[in-house]
Amino acid sequence: MDRHHQVPSSPVQVLSVASEMFPFVKTGGLGDVVGSLPVALRAEGVAVTTLLPGYPAVLDALEGPVRVAEMTPLPGVEVALLEGMAAGHRLLVVDSPALFRRKGNPYLGPDGVDWPDNGVRFATLSRVAATIAQGHVAACRPDLVLAHDWQSGLTAAYLHYDGQPAAPVIHTIHNIAFQGRFPARDLERFGLPPHAFAMDGVEYHGDIGFLKAGLHFATWITTVSPTYAREIQKPEWGMGLDGLLRSRSDRLVGILNGIDTDDWNPATDPAVLFPYQVGDFRARRPNKRAFQAEFGLRQDPDVFLLGLVSRLTGQKGVDILADVVPRILDDRTQLVVVGSGEAAMEQAFARLSRRFSDRLACHIGYSEQLGHRLQASADSLLIPSRFEPCGLTQLCASRYGCVPIASRVGGLADTIIDANAAAMACDAATGFLFFPTDPDTLVAAIERGGAMFRDPQRWTHLQRNGAHYDVSWRHKAREYAQLFRRVLGRNDAVSAGTEKDIILSRRGTHGRRPWPPGPPGADMPSRTGRLARQAARRSRVRPHDPLARSH
């Protein structure tokens, strides 16, 4: 624990409501965050109980489960509520064999299509969460509810229409593109009153909108980066919900995600063939050679090895990458793609790997271990996302010495310092950013990366800056805890450590402060450039207030 940082004597009891949680069920960053944030919050005097659907993997992981309640949350739906520990987490599990005991993806059937009863499944989860928030379950009486994404969106709506005293709800947007829209005819099936189907209720363009309901009725709204909090208030990013978010901008805040630095540690990571200490970049070389051999590529330490670990979808911009492959691959550049997603994208990369078999390899499918191994081996990680709420891969890659090349959007803009002239002058750069997200800017960013890779001294500085930047949950969890106590009106919120602590979290152990990056390849504006140059000398920076206006 930080020196001078005191944990308030009265812990905040939080019910976290989510549809997935690592290490039990994970389809993306949501599962990672739901699994790692509670651990970091313990140090801030916040006790988290996580409410999950009773998927087979969750039930199998429960240690000594106890049935604490039986409910009929929706008409014709009966569930048992189980309590138990799993992987160090306190869980409440909604056990309904008919709804949740299905193997594989939590949202999709074996045919790759959404389960037709997803509305009922996640309305059930939300209704159970609302019942707990009202204090009707003796095993868990939370001070507040932290609801994640559309799957828990009806929680705040049920509380509103019930009109009973209940814990306040903070709703977190992990990706506004996924909104949970279901036919209006399901209103009664979801246990909602007729008057709820209105613009100031759950109605959204003629449907029932789970995410819209959560954003409308929640006490506060958070999202996973300050830049994304601003972006989603604009029509081009808000996916139709920008007007609602602008109307609630005084209750909207962006708090960056962190990663579990115990899981993401190249010295202890079981997926890394040749373990190495954070910052020991020479020790990465055997991993690069082994990775090239694993994928049938020429083993050459001087080749610029690019990697992509991603869902193969339009959001992730992988179609743009596929289009430019002929322009970026040459005798000095290789690419390895790991991921799955849209069939057209999978087929496109499979074709490209056959066409450029000596320079491009791909693994179609999800592999946690392969993702770890790629980031311990590749020189740069490509993240050409059209939008990115926060992103976790750039944090993991930087810690492993894999320099990110990414779109300047969302959390990528908040966590990567572009290697432009001003950033390089004060030795603060951590990667390469490009905008707009199109083929030409992507190629230009890769070319910038390749040129710097061939200057080993400058490249090592980039790796070092990224590896030593604080990507942990420590200070992000503190911001959440401050928000929780502010929402609850508690007076026991204390100073979040000394200024030195905050400096180290924002600037990394090398004393460099991040700043909003300018266009790729351009010097930053004079004021920003001046701050950048001062960052290497200054020893004072204001603590960040998570409740400051983020727009």
Tally of CB atoms within 10 A around 238: 16
Closest to 513 in 3D by CA, of 530, 497, 536: 536
Task: Point out which residues pair with 83 in neighbouring strands.
Answer: 66, 92
Residues in the chain: 551
**Angle between the N-to-C axes of helices 118-133 and 154-162, in degrees from 0 to 180, rounded to the nearest 10:** 50
> Residue 70, class by beta-carbon neighbours within 10 Å (0-12 exposed, 13-18 middle, 19+ buried)?
exposed
Closest to 420 in 3D by CA, of 430, 412, 410: 430
- Which ranges of 220-367 would DSSP assign to H, the alpha helix? 226-231, 242-247, 285-294, 318-328, 343-355
Distance CA 426, CA 405 (A): 20
Token pair 């009202």 in the structure block, residue: 134
DSSP assignment of 418-434: B--HHHHHTT---BEEE
Residues making up the binding site: 26
Residues making up the binding site for ADP-alpha-D-glucose: 26
Distance CA 235, CA 254 (A): 18
| Beta-strand relationship, 77-86 and 89-95 | antiparallel
Dihedral sign for Cα atoms in the order 311, 312, 315, 321: positive
The answer to whether the beta carbons of residues 406 and 433 sit under 8 Å apart is yes
| Beta-strand relationship, 304-312 and 380-383 | parallel
**For residue 9, which amino acid is it?**
S
Kindly report the backbone phi and psi dihedral angles of residue 171, in degrees, each rounded to the nearest multiple of 5, phi listed first: -105, 130
Distance CA 325, CA 443 (A): 9
Dihedral sign for Cα atoms in the order 419, 324, 437, 225: negative
